[in-house]
Amino acid sequence: MAKWTVIAVIAAAGLWLNAKYLNLSPAHIREGVLSFGIFAPLIYIGLLMIRPFLLLPASVFAVSGGLAFGPLFGSLYSFIGAAGGA
């Protein structure tokens, strides 16, 4: 019972911090990635190439690429970055 209480408190704190300070939403992720202009795809692919060394989950990058570049180009850039980082 105590284990679930701790998990619930941590999850609630994470949701509260996101709503209060980070305000991460699909629109904000898209704006952040596309703020780099024409270099956005290159930066995205570069980040995907070094992602294994940063120990970050690939799913977060794949979703953000899809949100920023659309499903076709997001998948293409994700594939190029993942293959380059392999």
pLDDT single digits (tens) 20-72: 777 667 777 778 888 888 999 999 999 889 988 888 788 888 888 888 899 99
Domain count for the chain, please give it.
1
Is 53 a member of any domain?
Answer: yes
69 part of a folded domain: yes
For residue 76, tell me if it sits in a domain: yes
> What is the C-alpha to C-alpha distance for residues 17 and 72, in angstroms, rounded to an integer?
32
Is there a domain that residue 44 lies in? yes
pLDDT value of position 28: 78
The reported pLDDT for the residue numbered 3 is: 83
pLDDT for 57: 82
The pTM for the full model equals: 0.67
Query: Over 4-36, what HEC string results?
Result: HHHHHHHHHHHHHHHHHHHCCCHHHHHHHHHCC
Which residues constitute the domain of residue 36?
25-85
Is the residue at 10 inside a domain? no
